[in-house]
Amino acid sequence: MRILIVTVFFPPINSIASLRPYSWAKQWAENGCDVTVLTVPNDQTLSSSLTLPNQSFRILHVPSKWDRWFGSVKDSLRHASPSDSKKSKTSFIQKLKSKIVEWAIAYKKRKGFFNACRMPDKTHFWIKPALKEISQEQPWDLVVSTSGPYTTHLIAYELKKSQAAARWIADFRDPWSDNKLFPGIFPFRLIEKRLEKKLMREADVITTVSPQLRTELGKRHGDQKTHTIENGIDFEDFKRLDPTPIFPDDGTFRIVHTGTIYDGRNNPLPLLQALKALGERARHVEVLFCGVNGADLPKQVHELDLDHCVSLIPLVKREDALRMQRDADALLFLPWGDVEKNGIISGKIFEYFYSENPVIAVGGTAEKGSIHILDDLVIKHAFGNDVDKIKAYLLEQIDRQPAQEKISYRSSLQKYSRKALADKMLQLSKAFDQNTN
């Protein structure tokens, strides 16, 4: 079977979004399929430290016209600076420009446009070059597009309509036109709703990452063709890790968060306030935020004078992030609203459960003592925004002798292995063939 995967995120980009399509390419190639990945060249402004083996699949890197047209402009702006004689005259103007740029970037991220989520997106300039490149190929038995950005679906739609692909699976890592976390902007919101309906009518199968999102997509595009394919976990990633502990054995209770913190979206402030309330006892605790952090977190840490027990670590290699998760005393999960209702499940949560370390949830809107990520994966320590409960938990862990026992979810995780999920996804395509014959 000839399979084309259309994705903007792919290794070496160090992102959970890269691991999902990579796992399909890896497993399908191992199963004997002829797999090609259509993606963009690695953006050097992102971390490019995700080193994973290529299991006999082909990668087509097609540059976007956006980079060709605007890349040099971005570089010149980044390196431009006024001369000393002009600095005093332009200081006010420069500060004003800087404030405007900061506001525009924050607004863009908050609304989701030009951010691999909502319309418009810079990958619109990738569609034509990608289709031109792929037009030289023989027809595909199956094209799989994964979004965001939504432009991957536009490419797959054109391939299906032109009969360059026999079948199409449209995958949604996040919602598109009804994305409540990134609401988009007018008038593009109206265009997106109509465009999503038009595209999904042509898709043979629709997949997404959670049962909640599957239900919502099924209501709009057909329940029978909409299915859940979770993000899952690749057990081989953990077998390759250096067994040496990454943290010193110094009696400190370490809480680790890996991933991105978005201003106003996932909120660690209750944990920081609990640390502040511990007073001198906070010296026995260290919280490590490893990844890309918004502007709010460093400001909160500074204002609460917590630099002695909170570490902000830039994005590290995936292997080091997994070791930190493995060797932590607890792992921090920051839900976006009520996870059980919005259906947004971070891919790293499967890695958290595999570590067998306690997972604590802070923030969100759920007023419950636990959070069911999926039926058999439960976060038992869900504190919401209750600072007193978080403080009590921290004091208990500081005083605990011996150290807290591990919690095993590994038997439950077997069905969420990336191998099993990739096989399940391919079966959906084959089942569609049987139903249409």
pLDDT in tens, 372-406: 787 778 888 889 899 999 999 999 999 875 556 67
What percentage of the chain has pLDDT greater than the value 70?
87
pTM attached to this predicted model: 0.87
pLDDT at site 260:
85
Residues 6+ apart with CB under 8 A from 154: 127, 199
- Write out pLDDT tens, residues 170-188: 999 999 999 888 899 999 9
* Mean pLDDT on 135-144: 94
* Mean pLDDT on 298-304: 93
HSE of 182 in the Cβ direction (CA atoms, 13 Å)?
Answer: 25
DSSP string, 73-114: HHHHHHH----HHHHHHHHHHHHHHHHHHHHHHHHHHHH-BT
pLDDT at site 291:
86
Higher pLDDT, 422 or 105: 422
pLDDT at site 4:
98
Identify each DSSP E strand in 29-86 by its residue range: 34-39, 58-61
pLDDT at site 343:
66
What percentage of the chain has pLDDT greater than the value 90?
57
d(CA 133, CA 428): 28
What is the architecture, at CATH level 2, of domain 236-415? 3-Layer(aba) Sandwich (3.40)
d(CA 68, CA 66): 5
- Write out pLDDT tens, residues 196-230: 999 999 999 999 999 999 999 999 999 999 999 99
Tell me how far apart the 2 most distant CA atoms of the chain are, in Å. Answer: 77
CATH fold of the domain at 2-66+117-232+417-436: Rossmann fold (3.40.50)
Confidence band of 83 (pLDDT split at 50, 70, 90):
very low
CB-CB contact of 286 with 319 (8 Å): no
The pair of structure tokens assigned to 62 is 């097609």
pLDDT at site 104:
86
> Does residue 424 have a pLDDT over 50?
yes
Where does CATH 3.40.50.2000 sit in the chain?
A: 2-66+117-232+417-436, 236-415
Average pLDDT, the chain: 86
Dihedral pair phi/psi, residue 258, rounded to 5°? -115, 140
* Mean pLDDT on 298-310: 94
